[in-house]
Amino acid sequence: MTPNGNDVASTWESLKRGESGADYIKKFDTEKFDVKFACEVKNFNAEDILERKEARRMGAFTHFAIAASDEAVKDSGLVVAETDAEMVGTYISSGIGDFWAIEREHEKLLNSGPGRVSPFFIVSAIVNLASGNVSIRHGAKGPNSATATACSAGAHAIGDSFRLIERGDANVMICGGAESAITPMSVAGFASMRALSTRNDDPKHASRPFDAERDGFVIGEGAGILILEELEHAKARGARIYAEIVGYGMSGDAFHVTMPDETGSGAIRVMRRAIKDAGIGPEQIGYINAHGTSTPYNDKFETLAIKQVFGEHAYKLAVSSTKSMTGHALGAAGGIEAVFSVLTLRDNLLLPTINYEHPDPDCDLDYVPNEPRHAEVEYVLSNSFGFGGTNACLIFKRYDS
């Protein structure tokens, strides 16, 4: 579920065409705002998949998680039987949860008093309710968890699910990230800290990772969900296998609450840990789906980190940021970009970094500028870095039966 499409197929086709999901915000009046655009999910009605009363008791990020999870479960052919339910889990993270509910119910509290606050406020707003509702919907009685690690949350959910299966705590995990935080308070807050692009005259060209004229990220929303499954369990039921997850790394910058470490040390360590976990050499990575937010510091320091980890191979592998098209979906970004990484292996297609027009001397790698590229790679690495200096890295491998 992305600003480029409400399912995998439509999103993938949009990205292959190099289309931007950015436009002027329609969720609220932006007249008084310094930033007037975002990457919003379009033409989605939660009541198409949920009963009206049920939909009204959930936050929008949960709606997105349910829609993406339904698609993932259906595509996987997974049927959660009562005899297997305890070995099927959910791990769907979010950076913020339902910011809409927080703003709406706070306004009720101030204007009409505490008696007017909805009894469903808490269970629509808190971060773990996307995972909880998906668990209930599919009867998954295994591990049920969520992390709130900002922009690394979706990737952490997938990596932690990988570990749960490795430990034998689950056979199957429905995992990823979901976010819907394009709200007045959120946009005002990110704009106040000067994190957002202010290209109000040209939203579709605002997200430009690694470009010399980048001026901030474009806030996005959506959900990205994978079905992770223990190999023999998947083979026994004849599941269609897209790829293997083989490496996961975590690290902390211990530097600053918002700015990445200027030496790139946190990003360097998380990539090296994931590569070590995968049991491969750096030269075996063929493509990196970068965190690539389109902010001046992030793109510069991520490039620096890639060069430190990969040495001369950094100039031979491809790097691109799909946030140039989807915007930055915060806690959902790692889940969404994991889906893109897997599809890269399926289709032998590297997605582009669009709006790359002005080379930056500090960002001198192959960013697959503006056009997709056919290339067969065996390993794909996906980076996610979050406020607070929290980092996650996932490595996917082409599946060889």
The pLDDT tens digits along the chain (401 residues) read 999 999 999 999 999 999 999 999 999 999 999 999 999 999 999 999 999 999 999 999 999 999 999 999 999 999 999 889 999 999 999 999 999 999 999 999 999 999 999 999 999 999 999 999 999 999 999 999 999 999 999 999 999 999 999 999 999 999 999 999 999 999 999 999 999 999 999 999 999 999 999 999 999 999 999 999 999 999 999 999 999 999 999 999 999 998 888 899 999 999 999 999 999 999 999 999 999 999 999 999 999 999 999 999 999 999 999 999 999 999 999 999 999 999 999 999 999 999 999 999 999 999 999 999 999 999 999 999 999 999 999 999 999 87
349 is written with which tokens?
A: 């297609």
- Judge contact between 318 and 287, C-beta under 8 A: yes
- What is the value of pTM for the model shown? 0.97
Paired residues of 144 in beta bridges: 90
- Surface-to-core class of residue 129, CB atoms within 10 Å of its CB (0-12 exposed, 13-18 middle, 19+ buried): buried
Where in 138-273 does DSSP place strands (E)? 144-145, 172-179, 222-229, 243-252
pLDDT at 262: 87
Paired residues of 177 in beta bridges: 93, 224
CATH code for the structural domain at 243-398: 3.40.47.10
Residues tagged active-site: 151, 291, 328
Displacement of CA 329 from its chain's centroid (Å): 6
pLDDT at 83: 86
Q: Cβ neighbours of residue 226 under 8 Å, at least 6 residues apart? A: 72, 158, 175, 176, 335, 338, 339, 342
Kindly list the distances between the CA atom of residue 342 and the CA atoms of 152, 186, 327, 382, 397, in Å, as whole numbers in the listed order.
Answer: 18, 30, 19, 10, 8
As assigned by CATH, the class of the 8-236 domain is: alpha beta
**Same topology for domains 8-236 and 243-398, yes or no?**
yes
Q: Which amino acid is at 67?
A: A
Domain boundaries, the chain: 8-236, 243-398
